[in-house]
């Protein structure tokens, strides 16, 4: 089974995914890291050279590559905007068991206040307003692809991971 984690930047996809993989004894992949490895460039470099559209193409190719040759069991942390590409949303919905890590805009802003450098979409003077706007745009997409929703406000990654494990059959 491929367990994927979706949700906004700062919701804890990578840290919770790594903790969940440890709990289950499964491999863990972070889609952003796979994109960087395939491209030989950092995410800010891809956005700077190719724009968001170019990044989304690279993201889709990386996701398709993972799902074409899946490990038997895998925990996969998606990017915050993966589900914006309809083909990616379809893949996530139909080929993975997706968990939406739901997090309030206030919590996201607090968690990300010193972590905006590697995030091209947060290069703005008003990060909390940008996060709130992105969340409003994306929330229904996350809900559509998700098999389960876990509220992560106030949860550390280990607790979130145990919560997800307990949801699984
Ligand atoms: C993005 C989220 C980032 C990364 C890219 C775009 C987004 O991943 O894929 O900067 O559109 O929300 P994280 O959610 O892991 O930060």
Model pLDDT, residue 114:
86
What is the whole-number distance in angstroms between the Cα of residue 119 and the centre of ligand 1?
A: 7
Alpha helices in 69-126 (DSSP H): 86-95, 105-112
Mean pLDDT for 133-158 is 97
Q: Which pLDDT value is given to residue 51? A: 97
Q: What is the pLDDT of residue 115?
A: 87
Gap between the Cα atoms of 106 and 83, Å rounded: 22
% of the chain surpassing 70 pLDDT: 99
Q: To which H or E segment does residue 77 belong?
A: strand 74-77
13 lines ligand 1 (CB under 6 A): yes
Ligand 1 centroid to Cα of residue 49, in Å, is: 16
Categorize the per-residue pLDDT at 71 as very low, low, confident or very high, splitting at 50, 70 and 90: low
Phi, psi (rounded to 5 degrees) for 134: -65, -40
> What's the chain's average pLDDT?
96
């Amino acid at each position: 089974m491929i367990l994927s984690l979706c949700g906004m930047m700062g919701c804890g996809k990578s840290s919770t995914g790594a903790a969940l993989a440890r709990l289950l004894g499964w491999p863990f992949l972070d889609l952003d890291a796979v994109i960087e490895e395939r491209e030989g460039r950092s995410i800010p470099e891809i956005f700077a050279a190719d724009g968001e559209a170019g990044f989304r193409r690279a993201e889709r190719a990386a996701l398709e590559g993972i799902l074409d040759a899946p490990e038997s069991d895998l925990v996969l942390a998606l990017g915050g905007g993966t589900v914006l590409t309809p083909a990616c949303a379809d893949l996530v919905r139909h080929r993975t068991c997706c968990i939406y890590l739901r997090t309030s805009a206030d919590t996201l802003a607090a968690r990300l206040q010193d972590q905006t450098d590697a995030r091209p979409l947060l290069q703005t003077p008003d990060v909390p307003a940008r996060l709130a706007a992105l969340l409003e745009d994306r929330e229904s997409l996350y809900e559509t692809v998700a098999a389960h929703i876990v509220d992560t406000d106030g949860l550390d990654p280990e607790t979130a991971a145990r919560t997800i494990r307990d949801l699984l059959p």
